[in-house]
Amino acid sequence: MGMTMIEKILKNHTKDEVAPGKIIWLDLDVRSARDFGGASVVKNLREHFPGGKLADSAKTFFTFDCVVPANTIAYAENQQTCRDYAAEQGIRLYDVDAGIGSHVMIEEGIAIPGATVVGTDSHLNIMGALGAFGQGMGDVDIAFAFKTGRTWFEVPRSMKIVLKGTYQYPATAKDLILFIIGKLGASGGLGYSVELYGPAIERMTLAERITVASMGTEMGTITFLMEPGDEILEYSRKRSGKAHIERISADADAHYDKVLELDVAGLAPQIALPPKPSKVSAVAEVSGKKINSVFIGSCTNGTYDDIRLAAEILKGGKVAPGVMAKVVPATKEVYGRMLSEGLLETFFSSGVIVSNPGCGGCASGQIGMTGKGEVQISTSNRNFAGKQGSGDTYLASPVTAAWCALKGEICAPGVKPVAAR
């Protein structure tokens, strides 16, 4: 019997038999903690393994991304706890200026195709964009991973989703993944490792794959895996300095518990209504609703490509009166490109607030929270009640979000906004 992608990746990191439902001990290439969860990881390590060394400091990282820089004393203290521990153990720490941990790890070549990566970020399965295993875990798990370099894992069942047809701009990768989650539901992939195939996936850039993979958690999946193309392998070789990175592909006779086909030809821009990422409809069906706020950023849509798409629409226009539009780049590298390629000027002139890199409002962070009654269009991954404040959050693509910012209401991209030019 052949193996699926997840089975092959796990097989390369364990001595145990790999089959769905089996518990294996998994060697971890990368383990990380961030500013939320990190202090508890340190607390667990100090309490349960006092004075001990970690399995391998060179594979262990802190990445701060939730509340950066700290805007509460409690967060400042938690971050300092991590800094002290990092210095003590000789661990690399990406501080409050660096950006979202998962993105930093991809940019720095710490996470590469085929790797096993765990951390306290529940969207760490974003690594599926590289064809790698990424997994968010709690404080106990990650403390154990720091100490031992491994963890137990139940080999997940695999599902294959084959996308038929292709779609065109203004539909984007975000619209595609919202469409899939809307079709399958919030628990449609519960416990599965889902592999995505089809021409719509094959032509995707790394940034687009990141958008797709980052929302696997919202369908209950362990991970969304996409086989990396040459472009992604080359990117990771360059970033990591590793000349040989293996491309992990599923065997032709691999077993999938479920195989689904979805037709995405002519996909229209999608939007998730509050309070669930799975409550999806076409943007056109809810157009006309007044908005107060727009947030463009997060691990789902905070790459340079995402932000450039929004800038192209906003260039020369003005954000509608009464709308607070906010852009948060995922990383310092993205921020630097915004500066060197003129995007900061575009946003400034359009009346958009640009903050330093980070997660934005997803964890009550530095920017993007709503007040009661406020309606926000967000490019992030979750619109759970209360998550981004007490208002109503709608999830959409950067393209849709930028059009909505100009018009001051929910509108499908491509409809010329009243306030533009």
Tell me the closest approach of the beta carbon of residue 72 to other proteins, in angstroms.
6
Give me the least distance between CB of 46 and other proteins, in Å please.
11
Nearer to other proteins, 328 or 410 (CB): 328
Interface residue with other proteins among 217, 346, 380, 393 (CB under 8 A) is 217
Q: Considering the complex, what minimum distance in angstroms separates the CB of residue 48 from other proteins?
A: 4
Closest C-alpha among 193, 163, 187 to residue 177 = 163
Q: For residues 48 and 164, which CB has a smaller minimum distance to other proteins in the complex?
A: 48
Candidate residues 64, 85, 144, 295; the one interacting with other proteins per rule CB under 8 A: 144
Residues in 166-205 that interact with other proteins by CB under 8 A:
186-187, 190-191
**Per-residue contact flags (x/-) with other proteins for residues 8 to 37, judged by CB under 8 A:** ---------------x------------xx
260 touches other proteins (CB under 8 A)? no
Site for other proteins contains 213 (CB under 8 A): no
Applying CB under 8 A, which of residues 29, 65, 141, 409 lies at the interface with other proteins?
141
What is the CB neighbour count within 10 angstroms for residue 171?
23
Nearer of residues 39 and 330 to other proteins, judged by Cβ = 39
Q: Quick one: 331 exposed, middle or buried, by C-beta within 10 A (0-12, 13-18, 19+)?
A: buried
Query: Which of the residues 330 through 389 are near other proteins (CB under 8 A)?
Result: 362-364, 382, 384-387
Q: Is 299 a residue that touches other proteins (CB under 8 A)? A: no
Nearest distance from residue 35's CB to other proteins, in Å? 9
Q: Of 136 and 358, which CB lies nearer to other proteins in the complex structure?
A: 136
Instruction: Assess 39 for contact with other proteins (CB under 8 A).
Output: yes
Q: Find the shortest distance in angstroms from Cβ 388 to other proteins.
A: 9
- Burial status of residue 89 (CB atoms within 10 A of its CB: 0-12, 13-18, 19 or more): middle
57 lies in the binding site for other proteins (CB under 8 A)? no
> Which CB, 220 or 408, lies closer to other proteins?
220
Q: Closest CB to other proteins among 65 and 409?
A: 65
Integer angstrom CA distances of residue 141 from 34, 41, 343? 14, 9, 40
Going by C-alpha positions, the residue among 105, 60, 100 that lies closest to residue 359 is 100
Options 26, 66, 111, 184; binder of other proteins; rule CB under 8 A: 66
Stretch that binds other proteins, among 142-150, 198-206, 334-342, 403-411 (CB under 8 A): 142-150
Piece of 115-123, 159-167, 175-183, 328-336 that binds other proteins (CB under 8 A): 115-123
**Residue closer to other proteins, measured from CB, 189 or 317:** 189
Least CB distance from residue 107 to other proteins, whole Å?
22
Question: Which residues pair with residue 194 across a beta bridge?
Answer: 159, 224
Name the segment binding other proteins (CB under 8 A); options: 39-47, 242-250, 261-269, 409-417.
Answer: 39-47
The footprint of other proteins (CB under 8 A) covers 23, 36-37, 39-40, 43-44, 48-49, 66, 72, 74-75, 77-78, 120-122, 135-141, 143-144, 148, 152, 154, 186-187, 190-191, 217, 220, 222, 276, 362-364, 382, 384-387
